[in-house]
Amino acid sequence: MKKAVFSFLLFCTTLTLPLHSFCWGFFAHQKINYYAVFLLPPEMLVLYKPNIPFLSEHAVDPDKRRYLVAAEGPRHYIDIDQYGSYPYPDLPRRWKDAVARFGEDSLNRHGIVPWHIQTMLYRLTEAFKTKNFSLIMKYSAEIGHYISDAHVPLHASSNHNGQLTGQHGIHGFWESRVPELLAEKEFDFLLGKAAYIKNPEEFTWKRVLESARAADTVLLFEKNLNARYPADAKYSFEERNGKLVRQYASGYTIAYNSKLNGMVERRMRQSIFAVASFWYTAWVNAGQPDLKELAGQQFSATDFLEFEQLNRQWASGNGMIGRKEQ
């Protein structure tokens, strides 16, 4: 009987693991875009506030697109440790210089998140200039995703899921399990106002380097905790959507979070501020267009088809194209 129960649990574990295969977790990405809205000035709130459900729900579209488009994967991370050691002076910060030095294939292989954020900023700025409701919303939701990914330490490390140090699963532990368990109850997301970013490239690289520097701590603290924690208390089984899922136990998660001394909360707060500030910067750089007239607009039938296709492919179970995080 015991054996049967154990086999069943193993089966469930295997079955349900893909649920966690997303950057920052769906939960955290959606929260970050949601809270970013409240940092905006009234001239932007008039459009962004009524569209909070869209901005929050579609914060995860770039992750869904990883099931559809091969080029999507590298936009979410950078294995910056492949370019020497901190602060990686050999890696040119400008895309053209980096391509000239390493070639596009090699850059794509190690991830391009810092550069893709600049591409998205350009697109969002153009969307503001042409007052295109649909593109403003889509690009706002999506740039929020990439900016947030750049704040995750393991998105700036080639040991992205602890696969090189026997810590498989740590990716989702840090960015999904911790916020899902603690964000609602314990994290504070009340922040000031969005700020104009004079040099978005410099801002982005600063955050990416912070992530890169924190990656060792993320890994080391879990390793130390694991060494002194009772092995049979590390995981628990909890029901999720009618399925039994194996996950890091609450006690283990709380212990890890307190060891990290607020790092997950801090990075979420910094993500929220950065997302709002990039939205605001794009709007200012586009000449602060009046958004009142866009507030009542709706998405087109083509937009809905696009969202549906994304969802269908993601839900089809055909798997992510390219590197998996978990």
Q: Which residues bind Zn ion (CB under 5 A)?
A: 23, 63, 76, 149
Give the tokens for residue 125: 């700025």
Q: Where are the alpha helices (DSSP H) in 37-112?
A: 42-48, 52-57, 61-65, 95-102, 104-110
As measured in angstroms, the least distance from the Cβ of 175 to Zn ion is 9
HSE-CB of 235 using CA atoms within 13 angstroms:
10
**Structure tokens of 28?**
């955290």
State the nearest-atom distance from the C-beta of 88 to Zn ion, in Å: 21
Cis ω for the linkage preceding 62 (within 30 of 0): no
> What would the two tokens of residue 46 be?
């008039």
Residue nearest to Zn ion (CB): 23
Yes or no: say if 212 and 113 are a contact pair by the CB < 8 Å rule.
no
- Tell the smallest beta-carbon distance from residue 45 to Zn ion (Å): 26
Q: Which is nearer to Zn ion, 63 or 222 (CB)?
A: 63
For Zn ion, give the closer residue by CB, 25 or 133: 25
CA 46: distance to chain centroid?
A: 26
- Please answer whether residues 249 and 234 qualify as being in contact, where contact means their C-beta atoms are separated by less than 8 angstroms: yes
The pair of three-digit structure tokens given for residue 200, joined into one six-digit string: 């978005």
Q: Which is nearer to Zn ion, 68 or 286 (CB)?
A: 68
**Token pair belonging to 226:** 């694991």
Return the closest-CA partner of residue 145 out of 107, 125, 175, 190: 175
Q: Which residue, 253 or 271, is less far from Zn ion as judged by CB?
A: 271
Nearest approach, Cβ of 6 to Zn ion (angstroms)?
Answer: 34
Instruction: Indicate the residue among 24 and 248 with the shorter CB distance to Zn ion.
Output: 24
- Specify the residue, 23 or 124, whose C-beta has the smaller distance to Zn ion: 23
Q: Are 216 and 154 in contact (CB under 8 A)?
A: no
At 242, which amino acid appears? G
Q: State in angstroms the smallest separation of the CB of 179 from Zn ion.
A: 14
Shortest separation between residue 63's beta carbon and Zn ion, angstroms: 5
Q: How far is the CB of 239 from Zn ion (least distance, A)?
A: 27
DSSP 8-state class, residue 163: T
The answer to whether 44 and 291 are in contact (CB under 8 A) is yes
Please, which residue, 180 or 283, has the CB nearer to Zn ion? 180
Nearest one of 323, 304, 326 to 78, comparing CA atoms: 323
